[in-house]
Amino acid sequence: MPTVSFAPALTRHVPCAPQQVAAGTLASVLEDAFRAAPALRAYVLDEQGAVRKHVAVFVNGEMIPQREDLTRALAPPDRVHVIQALTGG
């Protein structure tokens, strides 16, 4: 089962332990993880279901390249980590 974890910058707002969820697309894996903490969905995804601008999603240590494309298939050993991305200049 893929594991989904959320960085402390997100879980300080909505507590959520790492979740082991059924394999599927990245979108379905995230939705399964949101069941444990539904309010996290609004912090991570926008109204169109894309990853918010200031959030980054990593699969096995690799950042997903397109925020709106969550169709990547995940296998049981995969690890998803959601962090709050830093921006500025």
How many separate domains does the chain show?
Answer: 1
CATH number at residue 11: 3.10.20.30
Give domain status of residue 18, yes or no: yes
Q: What confidence tens digit (pLDDT) does each residue in 73-87 have? A: 999 999 999 998 776
State residue 64's pLDDT score: 92
Which residue pairs, CB below 8 angstroms and at least 24 apart, start in 70-77? 70/25, 70/26, 70/27, 70/30, 71/25, 71/26, 71/27, 72/25, 72/26, 73/23, 73/24, 73/25, 74/2, 74/23, 74/24, 74/25, 74/26, 74/29, 75/2, 75/23, 76/1, 76/2, 76/23, 77/2
Give domain status of residue 29, yes or no: yes
Give percent of the chain with pLDDT exceeding 90.
78
What string of pLDDT tens digits covers the 89 residues of the chain? 999 999 998 998 889 999 999 999 999 999 999 999 999 999 999 999 999 999 999 999 999 988 888 999 999 999 999 998 776 55
Q: Which domain covers residue 24, as residue numbers?
A: 3-84
Give domain status of residue 34, yes or no: yes
Quote the pTM value.
Answer: 0.89
Q: How far apart are CA 14 and CA 36, in angstroms?
A: 10
State residue 66's pLDDT score: 87
Q: What phi and psi values does residue 41 have, to the nearest 5 degrees?
A: -55, -45
Give domain status of residue 89, yes or no: no
State residue 87's pLDDT score: 63
